[in-house]
Structure 1
């Protein structure tokens, strides 16, 4: 689906600027300036009429608990100082609604409110990809990114939706902020439609019953916007289309309202300390000790990072100059033997902002390299084609066709027939993929067999090295061995233990 932000809007005049200030309450910030420009562009469209300033509805459900599902993220943000700049990774994920400008306003809000936090923010939403498709691409987009917070909104069936949440809670330590669906239609007199009524009631049940249960089950933050959205429309004599650019997507005021509702959940200070923080930091020298050039830690989790220290803090100048690297072992073996790699999302299909393949996997041990798939034959409707794959290290690795499972000669590439998106993109957008078209993906390590101290810059977070990510979520033993017998400049060891484990 194509985003359309600048369309005719049934709001005009000075009330728009007043509404913007009420929504954002940020004076003349860059965030306000950006949305003000949206309003100005929309006002210039024909057919705009004046309305009284719409009021923003109050929070309606458990406002005293807002932020309770974001305690770790909020603690990291609020405790950041110029001397201790905590890194906080935030992922926006979903489909086209999540790619609209409200996510940029949230990012701006967080950067302005927490200027000392080292924010790493990415939006990997894919337009047109509902939950059954997104569960396939999440293998590339979500789990390896390992965010501290995921802000998630997507349409689609409840089973696939829940599976994405369950996987995230089982494979990462991310906190999750779920956003319910906004109002696109209301059953007013003269607009009767059996299909729309069923959809309206389904979305209501999903927002008021199913999502709260899911949020409680997986300890997520829920931003329930459906009820206050409808309250906002009714109290101001508006129709759903007044906040929409088309039948589903938001216009400028709709984006502002969405940002406002979500921001209320991010404005709360931490409610209470986290009872069982899934991320534990062990300070070297107090909680874990070097002994004869060896550091050992038993931990439970699926990821371990090393936080660099200033070399001047670990001993004499002589010992600093002698240190070059340290060997790393997990359960007595180099991490490389655990096959800890990520496969990046395949690049886009020809002419369309969607991946050519939803998921690429492997049946054999991987190595770091760049892969290329070449379409060698394809029919006019793009539903029958052949292809070849080449690895930058592996070389030519086999030829296949889209209607059957492909396993490359080395086993380093596996593509299921249902994961191809070339034929769907052709049908949806009437853009044919040509013969000779190429798309790419990469295999990148999530481990390091050796620790080489990174350079430390002042006024920045201390560098962090991921030693292993993607381990089984169980007890492991980490060993760091200095060949010279000198302590490595490591300030702390950080361990990540996902809070949920698969049943059975």
Structure 2
């Protein structure tokens, strides 16, 4: 008898040791360290030496210009010696699963110094997006917790417990998990991602909740059509972001420039002399006081920029009439080694009621008619330059969301562009400009050699800057 009891006790202890999860919660890094380079750019800006910070806001509708525009306006007033150059490429209504199809193209186009990211949806797709950001750029990254749509709940100690009834915040019997998905993402998953990938975690959720309590407000008082905020909620979202940034900038520690090898500065080339640089990374730029197009003679790994695949990028497809901020396709695959400027026109016809079935024709400005296809099948152009996947189309989803369909013979376009050269100049507070001249981008994240020469009449070059993403995939 006692042998059987002891056996049961032993088995219970073994099961407990196998399944009981007793682990410390992941601790996100200090934001001063995680976005140290961006903070040092803001801290070091003076009237005599203004600085530039290039920012990308990315995600879905919660990353709306409704709050990002006033947030940037406030930062410009607070830090007049910093030129905040920013893009908002958020795609409202796109969950993480959809957004991951577009993120590589979008982030490669902008190649920012700082990324501010928020999205709802599958946590696994969320991590894949983070990995893309970390492998395609050397940017500092801020991820944002969710604002409050449902009441906050305690963080669940997930895993196996010798307890039938779940404690507050948990669901299940014996095996517990977080009850609220919103709480799981904000209090468990995002802190884990921040710790794993060295991201700054903006505590928007906790500060939003504090605002509700301090002003004796109900959750619904800041919402229009949940989860979207009303006017007061959008204003709060902007204010929470800018005041958090200001608090970090005001911290006395880490005032020195970030010395991470993700972004390295090299001495400017001497005009008239060939200069050789060696760096690890996937992008290099010259930072100058004026335009450099036509004044830089260079090779990267023995090749001129026009022979580098990464110097050729594909634009987003033009937008849908019924959801103008959405491109007609999430993704277009253009042959990586296609190094020609080109414009493709897509004409769509024979829509069915759901607009999930249709036919189309593709034409290239350079090669002419590229063939016809069906939205249900993989399309490969006659030249082999373009491939369209059946899951890339946005027509049926756009009709479902907007309630409006497209008429036959709608046309859409996308471009192939050469991007290694001058970016648009940035006006600085002292009346000068900063000119970023891209030498090479989209390179393998590895060792590279640059050899370049600039003539004596070249505008002043301040440095050569090389970018090394922390993740190699």
Per the TM alignment, residue 236 of structure 1 is displaced from its structure 2 partner at its CA by 4.6
The answer on 1:498 being equivalent to 2:468 is: yes
Q: Are residues 456 and 157 of structure 1, via their aligned partners in 2, closer, same or farther at CA, if it must alter by over 3 Å? A: closer
1:393 is paired with a residue of what secondary structure?
coil
- Taking only aligned residues, the RMSD between alpha carbons, in angstroms, comes to 3.2
Distance in 2 between the 1:149 and 1:472 partners? 21
1:144 is paired with a residue of what secondary structure?
helix
Structure 1 residue corresponding to 2:413, chosen from 428, 440, 443: 440
Superimposed CA distance per residue, residues 147-173 of structure 1 (whole angstroms, 9 cap, x where no aligned partner): 111111110111111111111111111
Whether the 8 Å CA contact 2:60–2:93 is kept in 1: the answer is yes
The answer on 1:104 being equivalent to 2:69 is: yes
1:463 is paired with a residue of what secondary structure?
strand
Distance in 2 between the 1:160 and 1:434 partners? 33
Distance in 2 between the 1:117 and 1:187 partners? 37
2:332 equivalent in structure 1: 360
1:280 equivalent in structure 2: 264
Q: Are residues 435 and 199 of structure 1, via their aligned partners in 2, closer, same or farther at CA, if it must alter by over 3 Å? A: farther
Q: Are residues 231 and 293 of structure 1, via their aligned partners in 2, closer, same or farther at CA, if it must alter by over 3 Å? A: closer
Distance in 2 between the 1:324 and 1:367 partners? 19
Structure 2 residue corresponding to 1:306, chosen from 286, 289, 295: 286
1:136 is paired with a residue of what secondary structure?
coil
Superimposed CA distance per residue, residues 432-468 of structure 1 (whole angstroms, 9 cap, x where no aligned partner): 21111011112111325xx9xx999982233221111
Whether the 8 Å CA contact 1:169–1:498 is kept in 2: the answer is no
1:389 equivalent in structure 2: 362
Distance in 1 between the 2:345 and 2:290 partners? 42
Greater CA deviation, 471-480 or 248-257?
248-257
Per the TM alignment, residue 275 of structure 1 is displaced from its structure 2 partner at its CA by 3.9
1:378 is paired with a residue of what secondary structure?
coil
2:301 equivalent in structure 1: 331
Distance in 2 between the 1:99 and 1:463 partners? 28
Distance in 1 between the 2:415 and 2:392 partners? 17
Distance in 2 between the 1:443 and 1:390 partners? 13
Distance in 2 between the 1:456 and 1:205 partners? 43
Whether the 8 Å CA contact 1:407–1:413 is kept in 2: the answer is yes
1:390 is paired with a residue of what secondary structure?
strand
Per the TM alignment, residue 252 of structure 1 is displaced from its structure 2 partner at its CA by 2.0
Whether the 8 Å CA contact 2:362–2:369 is kept in 1: the answer is yes
Mapping 1:46-61, distance limit 5 Å: none
Greater CA deviation, 398-407 or 492-501?
492-501
Whether the 8 Å CA contact 1:173–1:278 is kept in 2: the answer is yes
How many pairs does the alignment contain?
Answer: 416
2:115 equivalent in structure 1: 150
Distance in 1 between the 2:294 and 2:427 partners? 15
Whether the 8 Å CA contact 1:181–1:225 is kept in 2: the answer is yes
User: TM-score, normalization: structure 2?
Assistant: 0.80
Mapping 1:167-178, distance limit 5 Å: 167-178=132-143
2:80 is paired with a residue of what secondary structure?
coil
Distance in 2 between the 1:468 and 1:120 partners? 21
Whether the 8 Å CA contact 2:318–2:414 is kept in 1: the answer is yes
Distance in 1 between the 2:81 and 2:368 partners? 46
User: TM-score, normalization: structure 1?
Assistant: 0.75
Superimposed CA distance per residue, residues 16-68 of structure 1 (whole angstroms, 9 cap, x where no aligned partner): xxxxxxxxxxxxxxxxxxxxxxxxxxxxxxxxxxxxxxxxxxxxx99994544
The answer on 1:73 being equivalent to 2:38 is: yes
1:413 equivalent in structure 2: 386
Whether the 8 Å CA contact 2:75–2:242 is kept in 1: the answer is no
Which runs of no fewer than 5 residues in structure 1 stay unpaired?
1-60, 189-193, 312-322
Greater CA deviation, 292-301 or 436-445?
292-301
Which runs of no fewer than 5 residues in structure 2 stay unpaired?
1-25, 154-169, 172-176
The answer on 1:344 being equivalent to 2:315 is: yes
Q: Are residues 176 and 310 of structure 1, via their aligned partners in 2, closer, same or farther at CA, if it must alter by over 3 Å? A: closer
Whether the 8 Å CA contact 1:93–1:123 is kept in 2: the answer is yes
Whether the 8 Å CA contact 1:304–1:467 is kept in 2: the answer is yes
Distance in 1 between the 2:352 and 2:73 partners? 46
Distance in 2 between the 1:120 and 1:371 partners? 29
Structure 1 residue corresponding to 2:200, chosen from 211, 221, 225: 221
Per the TM alignment, residue 117 of structure 1 is displaced from its structure 2 partner at its CA by 1.6
Per the TM alignment, residue 398 of structure 1 is displaced from its structure 2 partner at its CA by 1.9
Q: Are residues 310 and 64 of structure 1, via their aligned partners in 2, closer, same or farther at CA, if it must alter by over 3 Å? A: closer
Per the TM alignment, residue 337 of structure 1 is displaced from its structure 2 partner at its CA by 1.3
Per the TM alignment, residue 329 of structure 1 is displaced from its structure 2 partner at its CA by 0.5
Q: Are residues 124 and 342 of structure 1, via their aligned partners in 2, closer, same or farther at CA, if it must alter by over 3 Å? A: same
Distance in 2 between the 1:326 and 1:494 partners? 12
Distance in 1 between the 2:33 and 2:197 partners? 13
